[in-house]
């Protein structure tokens, strides 16, 4: 407890933010080296049972790009016309 737990929380938070994964704080103690932690993150797959879970929702930008990718050329032209572009 104490300082080490606070540092572990910061590391977990930064990993979650940068890699879009959600880790319990205990993961840092279960995989105490950077190589072990990187391996654990790399092995995570949606739906798998693990101490590491992917964040439920992708970033807003990713969702918007996915939605735009589903539009036809005609739909894009209409959107551009309606927005005065």
pLDDT tens by residue, 9-25: 888 888 888 877 877 88
CA atoms within 13 A on the CB side of 73: 0
Do 13 and 49 reside in the same domain of the chain?
yes
Structural domain of 80: 57-85
**How many domains does the chain fold into?**
2
CA atoms within 13 A on the CB side of 50: 19
Do 28 and 1 reside in the same domain of the chain?
yes
pLDDT above 70: residue 5: yes
CA 11 to CA 4: how far, in whole Å? 11
Q: What is the mean pLDDT of the chain?
A: 75
* pLDDT score recorded for residue 57: 61
CA 37 to CA 30: how far, in whole Å? 8
- State mean pLDDT over 49-77: 72
CA 64 to CA 70: how far, in whole Å? 10
Confidence grade of residue 48 (pLDDT, cut at 50, 70, 90): very low
């Amino acid at each position: 407890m104490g300082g080490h737990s606070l540092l572990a929380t910061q590391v977990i938070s930064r990993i979650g933010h940068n890699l879009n994964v959600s880790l319990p704080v205990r993961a840092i103690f279960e995989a105490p080296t950077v190589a072990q932690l990187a391996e654990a993150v790399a092995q995570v797959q949606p739906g798998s049972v693990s101490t590491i879970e992917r964040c439920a929702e992708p970033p807003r930008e990713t969702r918007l790009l996915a939605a735009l990718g589903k539009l036809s050329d005609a739909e894009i032209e209409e959107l551009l016309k309606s927005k005065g572009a």
